[in-house]
Every structure is written in structure tokens, then in C-alpha cells.
């Protein structure tokens, strides 16, 4: 790769840019190795820093829950492999934080000293830092398409419950062909697609379909938490 190669920032709906990398769990070929799974590719600014440590402990503690939703985790920073290994060992052996201790990070953490991957994914934001990646999150679906992108600055630790909610909401939208309203959680009403004709819109407004309409363009229906979770979790 040319050193000053300029990349377009990946966008929602794009195929996830491909790369091969060295990680704490061996080499990976991304996103091909994750075909059939959802994957969250996320960057952190630097090893041996406090916000990142709190994030890694939190994410590692939730890894099983994400895996049960068929979602794998892959971290990245522009540090080297030996720094990653030493930092993860320190976390396991020394850090007790908010009831979490002996936390083993078993998901891969990419070394990216060349910033090759960080640049490809638009994780370097020179206005924030020219030497550290920002806190980027890419949620990628089982066919390798980017479905959500979230960025946080260096000083702000992420909300990992929100990332779990994002994965469940994307899967629910795909499976049930609906959209999810503000603050949606499994069991809350979902938004049905717009009526295809005036007749259908009228029927909906007159309560002829099993849905609640706030106006002709805004109708919701119930899907129970059990139906949502039993349908989407392993997909």
C-alpha cells in the first residue's frame, strides 16, 4: 500500500473493506472469516489507557451475550501486538473494576501499527488525534455489509448495552420487515412499512388491521419479546 493513499470513508450499506491482519488470536482475513455471523469491528485509541481499559473489561464481560446473538467482536488500535498482549494480561491479572475482575479478553485485537486498517475504515480523525484512532464502531452483517457506524471521541467511553440493542434492532428489522422506533427494545411495538395505497392507509386508520396508527404515515404493531428473541437470536 502507498503510504499516503487516500481512502473514502466507508458508509452504511457499503461492503466492509477487506483486509488481512495480525491479531491477539492469530491472523484474520476480514470480513471473509466472519461470513455468516454479525461482527462488530471497533477501534480504541490506545492500550494502557483508562477509558479503553473500562471499555475492554465491559465488552469482554458481554462477549457471550453478543455471541449468543451470533455477533462476534473484533477490536483494533494502532498499537503493536506485544503491547496488546501485555495490556490484556494486565487487565486479567491486575484490574478489578465495577465488580469485574479476572477478565479475559478472548476476542481478537488487531495490531495496526501501519494504520492500514484504521485509515481504510476512517478511524483516524486528525482533528481529534493524528496518532490514535477514535472510538469507531462498525456493525457488519453476515454478508459483509456495513449496517451501522458510530463514532465517539477519545474522552467518551461507549455504551455497550446500546451496541447490543443496535444488533438486536437490525436483526429484528431484517427478519420482520419493520423499523424500530426511538429507544426500542425487544417487546416494544415496532413500526410497520408505509401503506402501499390510500385504501390500505384508510383501512389502517379505521382499525381494520391489527395495528395502532398515530396518523396515516405512522403505524405500529406488537411483536412480543419472546417472538423477537426466539426468531432473531441465533440468526
Catalytically annotated residues = 52
Minimum CB separation from ligand BEZ for residue 49, in Å? 3
Q: Where are the beta strands (DSSP E) in the chain?
A: 19-23, 26-30, 38-43, 71-77, 109-111, 135-140, 146-152, 190-191, 212-215, 218-221
> Given candidates 50, 181, 187, 207, which one binds ligand BEZ under the rule CB under 6 A?
50
Tell me whether residue 86 or residue 154 sits nearer to ligand BEZ (CB atom).
Answer: 154
When asked if residue 52 is in the footprint of ligand BEZ (CB under 6 A), the reply is yes
Tell me whether residue 50 or residue 207 sits nearer to ligand BEZ (CB atom).
Answer: 50
When asked if residue 109 is in the footprint of ligand BEZ (CB under 6 A), the reply is no
Residues 29-48 that bind ligand BEZ (CB under 6 A): 45-46
Task: Please list, in sequence order, all residues whose beta carbon lies within 8 angstroms of the beta carbon of residue 82, skipping any fewer than 6 positions away.
Answer: none
When asked if residue 154 is in the footprint of ligand BEZ (CB under 6 A), the reply is yes
When asked if residue 120 is in the footprint of ligand BEZ (CB under 6 A), the reply is no
When asked if residue 51 is in the footprint of ligand BEZ (CB under 6 A), the reply is yes
Closest CA to 194 of 182, 205, 185: 205
Minimum CB separation from ligand BEZ for residue 59, in Å? 13
Tell me whether residue 54 or residue 227 sits nearer to ligand BEZ (CB atom).
Answer: 54
How are the residues of the chain apportioned to helix, strand and coil, as percentages rounded to the nearest 5?
30, 25, 45
Minimum CB separation from ligand BEZ for residue 205, in Å? 51
Which chain residues interact with ligand BEZ by CB under 6 A? Answer: 45-46, 49-52, 132, 154-155
Amino acid at each position: 500500500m502507498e503510504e499516503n493513499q487516500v481512502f473514502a470513508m466507508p458508509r452504511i450499506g457499503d461492503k466492509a473493506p477487506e483486509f488481512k491482519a495480525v491479531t491477539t488470536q492469530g491472523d484474520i482475513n476480514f470480513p471473509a472469516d466472519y461470513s455468516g455471523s454479525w461482527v462488530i469491528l471497533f477501534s480504541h485509541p490506545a492500550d494502557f489507557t483508562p477509558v479503553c481499559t473500562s471499555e475492554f473489561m465491559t465488552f469482554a464481560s458481554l462477549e457471550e451475550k453478543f455471541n449468543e446473538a451470533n455477533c462476534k467482536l473484533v477490536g483494533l488500535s494502532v498499537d503493536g501486538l506485544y503491547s496488546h498482549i501485555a495490556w490484556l494480561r494486565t487487565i486479567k491479572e491486575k484490574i478489578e473494576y465495577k465488580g469485574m475482575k479476572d477478565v479475559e479478553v478472548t476476542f481478537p485485537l488487531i495490531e495496526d501499527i501501519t494504520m492500514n486498517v484504521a485509515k481504510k475504515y476512517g478511524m483516524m480523525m486528525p482533528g481529534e488525534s493524528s496518532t490514535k484512532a477514535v472510538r469507531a464502531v462498525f456493525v457488519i452483517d453476515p454478508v459483509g455489509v456495513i449496517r451501522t457506524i458510530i463514532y465517539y471521541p477519545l474522552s467518551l467511553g461507549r455504551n455497550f448495552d446500546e451496541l447490543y440493542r443496535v444488533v438486536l434492532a437490525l436483526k429484528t428489522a431484517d427478519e420482520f420487515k419493520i423499523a424500530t422506533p426511538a429507544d426500542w427494545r425487544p417487546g416494544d411495538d415496532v413500526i410497520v412499512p408505509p401503506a402501499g395505497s390510500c385504501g390500505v392507509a384508510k383501512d389502517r386508520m379505521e382499525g381494520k388491521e391489527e395495528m395502532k396508527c398515530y396518523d396515516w404515515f405512522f403505524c405500529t404493531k406488537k411483536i412480543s419479546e419472546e417472538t423477537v428473541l426466539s426468531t432473531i437470536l441465533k440468526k
